[in-house]
Amino acid sequence: MVLMMMMMVVVVVLVVMDFLPEAVPVDRLDKVDLFWLIGYRLSFPL
């Protein structure tokens, strides 16, 4: 359940970044870093 929610959040963030390249100027590397950051924060909500 938590994994499903995490994946949904990651997908939403990536889609928003893909549709808003001017508002959120990030590249693939930044997306990967953000993916790991979100996964880490949701896996260890301290």
Summarised one tens digit per residue, pLDDT across range 7-38 is 888 888 777 766 665 655 556 556 677 777 77
Return the top range by mean pLDDT from 4-8, 17-21, 41-45. 4-8
pTM above 0.85, yes or no: no
Q: Determine the pLDDT at residue 21.
A: 59
Q: Determine the pLDDT at residue 45.
A: 58
What's the rounded mean pLDDT across residues 34-43? Answer: 73
**2, pLDDT greater than 60:** yes
Q: Are 10 and 39 in contact (CB under 8 A)?
A: yes
Alpha carbon distance 26, 30 (integer Å): 6
**Where do the structural domains in the chain lie, given as residue ranges?**
2-43
